[in-house]
Amino acid sequence: MKIAILGSTGSIGTQTLKVVEELNAAAQTESNPHIEIAALAAGDNVERIARQAACFRVPLLSVATAEGAARLEELLKRTAPELKPEIFYGEEGLLQVAGCGAELLVTAIVGMIGLRPTLAAIRRGTDIALANKETLVAAG
């Protein structure tokens, strides 16, 4: 199974990744399917998303700003040079994460900025794990 997370560096996002890590460890000894992280999106916490990307070998990343994207790229070159993810930013980055082909999108991003990418994922037939009340309220 492939999942993507909007808001990976926040409390819900980090807990989601911890659960994935534990399930993947259990899958080593059982016949459970491996869970792959297809994409992550974060705000300004470039250091944390870089660690997450390196740990889970994430091929697509998004952060809030162009400056953050440049910092993330530079940080990954130093800390995980073998990892060469696509890096996006802003709302376009969130839409890229939502459309990455994951089977499940965890929407844990703060505020209404999660609305468009969540709706885009729904239109594609992606399952949604909604952990953002603003998206739910704004969508009606």
Chain segment 89-126, per-residue pLDDT in tens? 999 999 999 999 999 999 999 888 899 999 999 999 99
> For the whole model, what pTM was predicted?
0.93
Average pLDDT of the chain is 93
- What are the residue ranges of helices labelled H in the chain? 11-27, 46-56, 66-79, 90-98, 115-123, 133-139
Look at the block and give the residue holding tokens 């130093």. 78
Q: Give 3's DSSP letter.
A: E
**Dist CA 85 CA 122 (whole Å):** 24
CATH code, domain with 24 = 3.40.50.720
Provide the residue range defining the domain that includes 68: 2-139
Number of domains composing the chain:
1
Chain segment 24-73, per-residue pLDDT in tens? 988 776 666 689 999 999 999 999 999 999 999 999 999 999 999 999 99
Encoding tokens for residue 54?
Answer: 């390196």
Q: How many CB atoms lie within 10 A of CB 51?
A: 15
Encoding tokens for residue 1?
Answer: 């199974």
